[in-house]
Amino acid sequence: MKKSICSILCLTLFLIVQLDAQQGKASYTKYGISDQSIAQLRALEVGESAPDFKASDQNNKKINLNKLTEEHNVILIFYRGNWCPYCTRYLAEFNDRLDEIKAKNTVIIAVSPESNSNLQKTAELTSSDIHFISDNDNTIMDAYNVRFNVNDQYQEKFTNWTKGKTLGDMNQQDEATLPVPATYLIGKGGKIKWVHFDPNYSERGDVNALIESI
C-alpha cells in the first residue's frame, strides 16, 4: 500500500514538473524564442562582473566598457530594433531623463543586432549622447546571455507585419536573431548593480528605479 501511494505521489510530481516545463516553454515560444535557445538565456546577477566588450558606436567612436567603467557608471540596454514600438518608447524614456542621468556620471549604451543603416535611424530618434552599437555578429549579446534564434512562427508574424521583409534581411544576418530586451546598470569598477531581464518584450525595466540605483 505504501509503495502504491509513493508511486502515485512520484508520478503526480513528475507530471506537475512536466506541465510546468511545457508551460514555461510555451511562454518563451510566444515571444519568438526558439526551443534550442531557451537554455542559453540567463540574466547576469547583481554583483557579477559585467563582461567587457569593445565596439564602435553610430558615430564611429570607439567604446571600451572596462575603460568606461573606470570613471563612469554605464546603463547597458539591449533592444530589438527600431521596428519595435516597445523598444523605441523605452529608449525615449531614457532620452527624456538624459540630463539627470548624465548628472550622475552615467553613460548609456544601447546594443542591438540591427544593421548599421537601421542603427543610424534609431539613433536619429534619440540623442547623440546615447551610444548605439550594432552587434551584428552577436558577440556582445552572447557574452550577456541574451541572444536567441527566432522561431519560425514569429518570423512569419514579422514578415506579415512588415509586408514581406524578413528579420534576417533587416539585420543583414544569415540567421534571424534577437536579444531578450535586458537592461543592466554597471557601476564604476565594472560590477552589475541593477538588472532587468524578461523575455516578454512588452515588459521593460522601471527607469525611475534604475536611476535611483545609480
Question: For residue 207, how many other CB atoms are within 10 A of its CB?
Answer: 17
Per the domain annotation, does 11 fall within a domain? no
Residue 179 lies in a domain: yes
Give the side-chain half-sphere CA count within 13 A for 80: 27
Is 7 a member of any domain? no
φ, ψ of residue 10 to 5 degrees: the values are -65, -40
pLDDT of residue 174: 86
C-alpha cell at 210: 534604475
21 lies in a domain?
Answer: no
Q: What is the pTM of this model?
A: 0.87
Phi, psi of 143 (to 5 degrees): -65, -30
Average pLDDT taken over every residue of the chain? 88
pLDDT for 131-187, tens place per residue? 999 999 999 999 999 999 999 999 999 999 888 888 988 898 888 999 999 999 999
Say if 131 falls within a structural domain: yes
Query: Residue 127: pLDDT above 80?
Result: no
More confident residue, 29 or 105: 105
> Is position 66 within any domain?
yes
The pLDDT of residue 29 = 87
Residue 4 has pLDDT above 80, yes or no: no
How much is the pLDDT for 125?
82
Domain assignment present for 20: no
Cell 530589438, residue?
80
Range of the domain at 175: 31-213
In a domain, 62, yes or no: yes
Give percent above pLDDT 70 in the chain.
87
| Maximum alpha-carbon separation in the chain | 74
Higher-pLDDT residue of 129, 204: 204
Distance CA 170, CA 209 (A): 33
Cα 23 from Cα 4, distance rounded (Å):
28
How many domains does one find in the chain? Answer: 1
Residues 28-54, mean pLDDT to the nearest whole number: 94
What CATH number is attached to the domain comprising 90? Answer: 3.40.30.10
User: 55-67: per-residue pLDDT in tens?
Assistant: 999 999 999 999 9
pLDDT in tens, 92-125: 999 999 999 999 999 999 999 999 999 999 998 8
Per-residue pLDDT band at 81 (split at 50, 70, 90): very high
